[in-house]
Amino acid sequence: MPEMEAQDVKPLLEQFADERASLIPILQEIQATFSYLPEPALRRVARKLQIPITEIYQVATFYRCFSLKPRGRHLVQVCLGTACHVRGGDLVLERAQTETGAGLTGTSSDMEFTVEPVRCLGCCGLAPVMRVDRDTFAHLEQTKVRGIVNRYRPRKKPATVDKIAASAQEHAAHD
């Protein structure tokens, strides 16, 4: 996940006109770039559009696609549309929350996964459905979730690299 620097958001903001109607498109762009809405960026938006920061928070917290907290490296969206629900979508969600370690807080402590329910992905013919980043998985069963999640886990570093890292740490400790 990219680290946010206040100046990073400047070129992004320049693409938009200084008008109220730009607010949601700007926030969407910031969300897409940083995977959340960092506070320094929101302050810049407030200055640019001449809108009180409180109003920006109001909009940012009203709409579902915005997050004020950093999200994990992978976004797991489990569809809870009606078709998915009658075919066990809620069980898939629960399974995704336990398998990723995201639990009910939404994001796993290693910042690898954010799991969130989504209202309907519109793939009801293939229910139940789950999306990981840009990949959509169809005809799910809760028993298939573990395998899918594991595909997105970071590969373990080869042992040699670990050793080098360990010895480097040792050196650092001695210094």
What values do phi and psi take at 123, rounded to 5? -115, 45
Q: What interhelical angle do 39-49 and 53-62 show, nearest 10?
A: 120
Binding to other proteins (CB under 8 A) within 41-80 occurs at 58-59, 62-66, 80
Are 139 and 126 within 8 A, CB to CB?
Answer: yes
First-to-final CA distance of the chain: 31
Which residues are bridge partners to 136 per DSSP?
131
Binds other proteins (CB under 8 A): choice among 76, 107, 142, 148: 142
Q: Point out which span in 100-108, 137-145, 147-155, 164-172 binds other proteins (CB under 8 A).
A: 137-145
To other proteins, the closest distance from the beta carbon of 4 in angstroms equals: 20
Binds other proteins (CB under 8 A): choice among 5, 17, 52, 82: 82
Handedness of CA 138, 90, 73, 26 (dihedral sign): positive
Q: Is 104 helix (H, G, I), strand (E, B) or coil?
A: helix
33 scored as a contact of other proteins (CB under 8 A): no
Binds other proteins (CB under 8 A): choice among 33, 53, 70, 85: 85
Closer to other proteins by CB, 146 or 163: give it.
Answer: 146
Binding to other proteins (CB under 8 A) within 86-105 occurs at 86-88, 91, 94-95, 98
22 scored as a contact of other proteins (CB under 8 A): yes
Footprint of other proteins (CB under 8 A): 19-25, 27-28, 58-59, 62-66, 80-88, 91, 94-95, 98, 118-127, 129, 136-138, 141-143, 146
